[in-house]
Amino acid sequence: EKRCVQGYNLSCIMILPSKQREGYGKLLIEFSYLLSKKEGVPGSPEKPLSDFGLLSYRSYWRRAIYEILLAMHADSTSPAISTDELSRQTGMTVDDIISTLQTDGMLQRPESSSASYSISVDIDKISDYVDKARQKNPRRIDPTKLMWAPYLTKATFGAVSNAAAAATGVTNGVSNSVQSSPAADDDEASAGELSV
């Protein structure tokens, strides 16, 4: 969904009855989150979800989170991950991540009430789930093939312009360096012309 104030990344999915249960719904869900990741803004589906919508989204959320947890487990150098980092890697909102982890009984609060929650992972369980999900629904989107640029608002354009200026030394479209150009036969060329 474009420019949604509520932060929705998808309004509605309609799969024709003859194509249902073939993985196209999850493919569209995955695509919406790929766009959210590309924008750098976490997204969520328009609420309230229908019963089938909730089942599809929960299944997608679970698979996306589990795949990251498995990859993290395989890379033993990163033993911890935050919900914010999960959000950044999946494109999902922190609320949807927490909801999924709570539903799966993976959020644990230590005895001390002042301590924060932790994610309790049963690697065998999530590995089995991901393997079955990959067999059941092998259709995936290759993120490297996405040729799309996010819509730039004045606020995002300003942030992008400032970041580009800092990286390249160009401010407000004009280079900070002055290059001289030969005046030759062109009366309009000046010796102190600014490069853009």
Give the largest CA-CA distance in the chain: 83
DSSP strand pairing (8-10 vs 44-45) = parallel
46 catalytic? Reply is yes
What is the three-class DSSP state of 9?
Answer: strand
- Comparing CA positions, the residue from 21, 52, 57, 8 lying closest to residue 139 is 21
Report the first-to-last Cα separation within the chain, whole angstroms: 36
Active-site position among 1, 22, 39, 46 = 46
Residues carrying an active site annotation = 46
